[in-house]
Amino acid sequence: MTFWISQRICGPEQRVWEKPDPEHTFRGRLDCTRAQADEVVYEDDDVFAFRHRIDPSKEEWWDIHVVIIPKKWIPTILDFSIGDAKVWHRLLGGIQKVALELGLYEKGFTIRMGVLPPYQHTEHVHIHILSGKHRSAVVDGPMPDAG
């Protein structure tokens, strides 16, 4: 059994995930049971980036919404260790490659990462790459509403 620092240091309210493993779509995308070819934006040996399709009427909708995840199962950013430096660098490199692939360097984008419930909804590190029109309750720049 792997020892995760987040399990040792966080309180009971930070151990209740809205989308608990193993049913969450991140695992399904990694094992190809939920991945669709047109969702994949970038992939290498260590990371996987895919379009996160959200209904435009939902509050969390963005015109461009990509999620990048490590292929190694890591519950939270608190659980990265020295041995995971390569994975962390690959995540950052993957963000750059997604930005180039989708032309986000021309219009800008924001990245978001929650850590532990209630800010992180699933027990796997993931980074949201967001740009364009949106319905997000949190506005990081002068981006018009999609409505």
Residue boundaries of the structural domains of the chain:
5-134
Q: What is the arithmetic mean of pLDDT over 53-79?
A: 89
* Res. 78: pLDDT tops 60: yes
Report the relative pairing of strands 110-112 and 127-134 from DSSP bridges. Answer: antiparallel
What pTM does this model have? 0.80
29: confidence class by pLDDT, cuts 50, 70, 90: low
Fill in the amino acid letter for 142.
P
Q: What is the dihedral of CA 48, 30, 33, 63, to 10 degrees?
A: -30
The architecture in CATH of the region 5-134 reads 2-Layer Sandwich (3.30)
Cα→Cα distances 31→27, 36, 75, 140, Å: 6, 11, 17, 34
Adjacency order of strands within the sheet including 127-134:
40-43, 47-51, 62-70, 127-134, 110-112
Q: What is the dihedral of CA 109, 113, 119, 123, to 10 degrees?
A: 140
